[in-house]
Amino acid sequence: MPVYEYICEECNNKFDKMRPFSQADFKIACIKCGSTDTRRALSRVNMHTASSSSHSSSAGGCRSCTSGNCGNCNH
């Protein structure tokens, strides 16, 4: 089940709740004050993927780096 973030309009508390996708936008009580005047927050996701074919997923760096760490080069 996915975890959703909610914000309470009464006390401005931010909290997470694991819920089925079908209930993501249903009203939920704030875990701090109990108010049901809550809304689902926009969640941010941080994801890192290799965007170039010059990167090697097995070595941990790009093929042109001898150190195996692309932080040491411009690739």
Whether 59 is in a domain gets the answer no
Count: domains in the chain: 1
22: containing domain: 3-40
Q: What is the mean pLDDT of residues 24-49?
A: 88
CA distances from 15 to 6, 25, 52, 53, 65 (A): 5, 14, 37, 40, 43
Whether 70 is in a domain gets the answer no
Q: Looking at residue 42, what is its pLDDT?
A: 85
- Nearest 10 degrees: CA dihedral of 68, 72, 73, 75? 60
Q: Which residue has the higher pLDDT, 47 or 62?
A: 47
Whether 53 is in a domain gets the answer no
Whether 30 is in a domain gets the answer yes
Whether 10 is in a domain gets the answer yes
Q: Looking at residue 57, what is its pLDDT?
A: 45
Whether 19 is in a domain gets the answer yes
**Per-residue pLDDT for 1 more than 70?**
yes
